[in-house]
Structure 1
Amino acid sequence: MTRSAADWLRAATARLAPLIGLSEAQRDARLILRAATDWSAARLVAEGATPLDAGPELRADAMLARRAGHEPLAQILGHWPFYGRAFAVDRNVLTPRADTETLIELALSDPFKTMIDLGTGSGAIAVTLLAERPTARGVATDLSPAALSIAARNATAHGVASRLDLAAADWWAGIGGRFDLIVSNPPYVTAADYAALAPEVQQYEPMAALTPGGDGLSAYRAILDGVAAHANPGARLLLEIGALQGQALRDMLTQAGFQDVSIQTDINGKDRVAMGRVGTAQADRCR
């Protein structure tokens, strides 16, 4: 007998809860059933007693099986929300995290005309910044052609493709020009911490976008080496960091000659963004 929407949700939640916890299980079950039925959140509540049609139920069951196998929900759905917009994702890019919205808020706190996003992945940061600042232009780089393809899709979907240049690059290699704003969410997980990440992350998200190995700081060193040569006077640098990397990044930025260095916390009170402004003497050395 065909199950009702409410019955399916209860069974799906019970299946997922031991794996990911009750709250996340309830959320994922609802999102899976909405995707399978194309129902709104309100309709899902209003028609909880309605028997599911065979096609949507089969689609929901297939997606549930994938989620129970630890595949991230974002990859099952093919998209994920970030700063009020839906971004296409797949196994070639990291799923945008709410923590990264801290970097967006900080980047938008000062005006900019030009920006670069190093290691853009899905393009969530670069696309969001240009969508929020419709007169700005930007560059977004990544080593992965597959990631750049996803970023291009997202740039087109959100109407910024004409203002965003995508470049295959190893950090600054081959990049010209100077920018008002330099941002990056680089790989920063240490080798030891990577080994302890959840199966959803280790098995389904690109390792190169998560960890550079070792102490997790090598990407920052590469980025800092090129900032002054690509910065307009007074340019800002914003780097997403791990929760335990605040002091290390404060020291690195200070030693590199940045001014107004600070470490900003995310919505959970954890260190999340290292900020600095390119100093006059620092920039002069590269002119």
Structure 2
Amino acid sequence: MKENDLPGIHNSRDILHLAARRLSQAGIDSPRREARLLLAHVLHTDLSGLLTHDHVEAGQVRRFEALVERRASHEPLSYLTGNAGFWSMTLEVSAATLVPRADTETLIEALLELRPDHDRVRRILDLGTGTGCLLLAALQEYQHAWGVGVDLSPDAAQLATRNARQLGLSGRCDIICGDWAQAIMGRFDVVLSNPPYIPHADLGGLMPDVRDYEPHRALDGGADGLASYRLLMQCLPRLLSEQGIAIIELGIGQEHSVPALAREAGMEVLSIRADLGGIGRALVLRPHGEVAKK
């Protein structure tokens, strides 16, 4: 898509038509919707606001064209717009973190079902927090809770801190840069985590949007995809309060292997909650009584 392909009047309808065609040729799903989202981003409006923009200025056209070409190269839409929706929030995202996904909302749904009494949740820990999506969604729901988010990446920790500030939650959480729970003391009512779980050999077969742009450190689960789960299971017994629960995201086909690791670590498997696609996504654990009392 080049500027000389566009009508001289820069009519938004014609611009969107050409952009959608370019994205469709590149194999992008929902090309017209994505073109509209990109144009709305350039024009600093929303989709309904596009109805009032018949004419697009030349400078805006150039910015839009550049974004369309980047999306045609399968750079994630959220990286281009700088934000993504999760739960009831709009979060800043960057190439330092995974793009929050709707499947991960299954963990928050499980938490709300298991802890309908919001006074029971006062301390929340999110290991591998990324954008902070899990921690911040939980804090929005549990108004009396305080939380900690941990991420190995300084850039991710800074981004999660900004998201907490934008949502008015920075006074109720601490975001720290660290290696899983090595620097964490005390016990929590809830531990959340979406760890890396893609087997290393499978990374090359991921969709180009993920493979070529999202951070591999947040995807690579080692040779069998279970490396991060092994580390998590080692620390969960000392992190959970006696009545605490852990809710951990699973990858496809891990609904047997990860619970087995949890049981070996002295954890009790309460349930596995499926996402909207029917895939076992949220593993719910609690410590056995004798483990929790240590």
Task: In structure 2, give the amino acid aligned to 1:266.
Answer: D
CA contact (8 A) 2:267 2:287 kept: yes
Per-residue CA deviations over 1:175-224 (Å, capped at 9, x if unaligned) read: 11110001100000011221101222122111000113200101111011
CA contact (8 A) 1:89 1:150 kept: yes
Task: In structure 2, give the amino acid aligned to 1:228.
Answer: P
CA contact (8 A) 2:97 2:156 kept: yes
| 1:35 match | 41
| 2:244 match | 235
Distance verdict in 2 for CA 1:157–1:83, change over 3 Å: same
**Unaligned ranges ≥5, structure 1:** none
Moved more, 215-224 or 160-169: 160-169
Q: 1:255 aligns with which of 248, 254, 264?
A: 264
Task: In structure 1, give the amino acid aligned to 2:122.
Answer: K
| 1:101 match | 105
The alignment status of 1:12 with 2:16, answered yes or no, reads no
RMSD: 1.5
Q: Percent identity?
A: 36
Q: 1:202 aligns with which of 206, 211, 221?
A: 211
TM-score in terms of structure 2 length: 0.91
* SS of residue paired to 1:141: strand
What are the equivalent positions in structure 2 for 1:98-137 lying under 5 Å apart?
98-109=102-113, 110=115, 111=118, 112-137=121-146
Q: 2:64 aligns with which of 53, 60, 81?
A: 60
CA contact (8 A) 2:273 2:283 kept: yes
Q: Distance in 1 between matches of 2:29 and 2:89?
A: 26
The alignment status of 1:218 with 2:222, answered yes or no, reads no
CA contact (8 A) 1:138 1:165 kept: yes
Q: 1:143 aligns with which of 145, 149, 152?
A: 152
* SS of residue paired to 1:204: coil
C-alpha displacement of 1:47:
4.1
Task: In structure 1, give the amino acid aligned to 2:60.
Answer: P
CA contact (8 A) 1:118 1:141 kept: yes
Q: 2:80 aligns with which of 76, 82, 98?
A: 76
Q: Distance in 2 between matches of 1:75 and 1:22?
A: 16
CA contact (8 A) 1:131 1:159 kept: no
Size of the aligned set, in residue pairs, is 282
The alignment status of 1:244 with 2:253, answered yes or no, reads yes
C-alpha displacement of 1:61:
1.2
TM-score in terms of structure 1 length: 0.94
C-alpha displacement of 1:258:
2.5
* SS of residue paired to 1:20: coil
Task: In structure 1, give the amino acid aligned to 2:98.
Answer: L
Moved more, 33-42 or 149-158: 33-42
Task: In structure 1, give the amino acid aligned to 2:48.
Answer: A
Q: 1:162 aligns with which of 152, 171, 175?
A: 171
C-alpha displacement of 1:260:
4.6
**Unaligned ranges ≥5, structure 2:** 1-7
Task: In structure 1, give the amino acid aligned to 2:249.
Answer: E
